[in-house]
A and B are shown apart, each in its own frame.
Chain A
Amino acid sequence: MTDKQQRAKAYWKENLRYLLILLSIWFIVSYGCGILFREALNEFKLGGFKLGFWFAQQGSIYVFVILIFVYVRLMNKLDKKYGFDE
């Protein structure tokens, strides 16, 4: 295996790990907090919001935006680490 192939393999592995973590968060805030566990979370309040309702109509969207920008940062670093940036 050439050096480039080895780097590519390691790069891909780390990339998949990032994806797994970020997509878990994506799933938890929307499907978890906003849908499946909303009844339980609605017992809590965030200002005038019931917490589950807030996640469904506001919170999950904010988290989505943050997730993408975190991903951009992580990947830019990863590109540099393995010499795939340009």
Chain B
Amino acid sequence: MSVQTWTWILVGITFALYFGIAIWARAGSTKDFYVAGGGVSPLANGMATAADWMSAASFISMAGLISFMGYDGSVFLMGWTGGYVLLALLLAPYLRKFGKFTVPDFIGDRYYSNTARTVAVICALIVSFTYVAGQMRGVGIVFSQFLQVDINLGVIIGMAVVLTFAFLGGMKGITYTQVAQYCVLIFAFMVPAFFISMQMTGNIIPQIGMGGEIAEGVPLLDHLDQLHTKLGFNEYTSGTKSTWDVFAITLALMVGTAGLPHVIVRFFTVPKVKDARKSAGYALLLIAILYTTAPAIAVFSRTNLIETVSEKQYSEIPEWFKNWENTGLIAWADKNGDGKIQYVAGSALDGKPKYTNERGAHGERLVSNAKATEMNELYVDRDIMVLANPEIAKLPNWVIALVAAGGLAAALSTAAGLLLVISTSISHDLIKKQINPNISDKGELKWARISIVFAVVIAGLFGIYPPGFVAAVVALAFGLAAASFFPAIILGIFDKRMNKQGAIAGMIVGISLMLIYMIVYKTGLIGVMEPLPKSEWWFGTSPEGFGTIAMLVNVVVSVIVSRMTAPPPQDVQEMVENIRIPSGAGEAVAH
């Protein structure tokens, strides 16, 4: 059977499964809708958290990104896993004990202030929208590549699917579909990895194969380092970023992970404090399976790519190369006219390939933007690594189709989780807690459903008309979360003296500082200014790593302001004492 037929079959089966679950897990109350009734088992919640967490970016782009970054890619590996340690030790158990529905709930009650709640809602919306905009685009790209439809149609199909299970089931529907999606995506990620590891190193476990030897008795990583040095790249295992920048980015990603509202809210869905701790452990274990495999895939595919193309005649290159050239993810410009592919350090083209619709002397697609000053002749899109891996390794068609189903599962589960946070912010934190406190449970549920439709439509529009800055800012959502929520929550639990003035000042200063740095050094202001260059960075900190500094500033401002103003009232101090002990968490209570 062809890849296309297999893809339709596997995607069809998995989608039928998701819809079946969504109908079975319909939500009857706001508690079902926001926190799945608070009755999810720790393992199921761990699986759902893992699926929620691992987006299309983790599934498709991360291994490719690492394979081009080498050691520098470690920032993602450590940053996106280490945050769970913070979450499990510093946040999840206490927030579960607190026992409300959302992060702004906690901020609003702990800091006895609707202003604090509003600031938190605004931060939650900024963080979630930056994040979801990238996801919807991802959904569109995955659909378009695998089902051969237009990207915009892909986004619309994705919107319809997410809307169905989120609208019907709320958190309950999303949680149980995410459990299924985790199974699909991890299976789809691991099967090709096993095959390739076996082929290259003779060891079926990729984590071990990565440190294994290739046929000649040379360690694979040393071999790759030598290839890199020979072609003028930095050693794969060394990287190019400064130690401080690696440190700052890793910390910003870790703290940001622990501060993302769609991750935190998952720990409200388990019955007890004990379960919240355990559930964070399961979540990280399940995430770690993918995150320790990705660097192995990166090494395998990097070695494979170099060995397949470097100094080879274009006319003798395997079929997959030409297929991806046709889809626009690979381009070759024969600068020295020798008919061979020179793949060395430096960028081959000025940005993405601009094809001229003509074919060159060897049958390659000609590009108009080759950089004559660089020796490198090959452009490779980093997303290709996971997608092309099964083809490069000549795996059976069903494995290639499986990757499609896995990519879709990853993209949909993350988008759904984020959309729920956005709709909860609107229906619960804004309407119920601020505009109309007397609204009935049924009325609130209706608003929750209306706002999810609203959120899906906005996110879809972002996906169809992506603002130029989206790709640039998705990584910065972590910096924003690190600079705003994380200190406010941590101090709220661990510093009894922290009061509303301190927390509000800290959050506002932190998120503003991060936004300003982002605009000045990363996105620029359209029509007003271009982003400033690297040489101007504060202490050599990249915008991705700046969340670390903004977070520290937040903490300092919070502490100083709180010590200069009145301590929090007695009942709030008692509340803090109460969330520090685990017993008597009860259910996630409605108010």
Contacts and interface: CB of A to CB of B under 8 A. Distances in A.
Give the most central of B66, B77, B281, B284: most A CB within 10 Å: B281
A71 interface: yes
Contacts, number: 134
B163 interface: no
Given A48-B220, A56-B74, A35 B243 contact: yes
B220 A35 contact: no
Interface string A62-75: 10110111011001
A19 B90 contact: yes
A30 B78 contact: yes
B228 interface: no
Given A60-B78, A64-B84, A35 B247 contact: yes
A48 B224 CA distance: 11
Interface stretch (B288-296, B405-413, B444-452, B480-488): B288-296
Contacts of B272: 86
B317 interface: no
B84 A68 contact: yes
Given A64-B84, A65-B284, A85-B274, A30 B89 contact: no
B280 A68 contact: yes
A86 B272 CA distance: 9
A64 B243 contact: no
B77 A85 contact: no
Interface residues of B, number: 49
Interface in A46-86: 46-50, 53-54, 56-58, 60-62, 64-65, 67-69, 71-72, 75-76, 79, 83-86
Given A48-B212, A64-B284, A84-B583, A26 B277 contact: no
Interface residues of A, number: 43
Interface stretch (B396-404, B432-440, B497-505, B574-582): B574-582
Nearest to A26: B85
A8 B221 contact: no
Contact of A34 (B78, B207, B291, B583): B78
A31 B247 CA distance: 7
Contact of A58 (B207, B280, B577, B584): B207
B581 A50 contact: no
Contacts of A64: 81-82, 84-85, 284, 288
Interface string B63-97: 00010000101100110011011001110010000
Contact of B582 (A5, A34, A71, A79): A79
B237 A58 contact: no
Interface string A9-51: 0011001000100110010001100111010001000111110
Contacts of B284: 64-65, 68
B211 interface: yes
Given A53-B237, A58-B292, A65 B281 contact: yes
Interface of A: 5, 8, 11-12, 15, 19, 22-23, 26, 30-31, 34-36, 38, 42, 46-50, 53-54, 56-58, 60-62, 64-65, 67-69, 71-72, 75-76, 79, 83-86
16 contacts: A11-B581, A23-B89, A26-B82, A35-B243, A47-B219, A53-B221, A57-B77, A58-B207, A58-B295, A61-B81, A64-B284, A71-B89, A75-B93, A79-B582, A83-B583, A85-B274
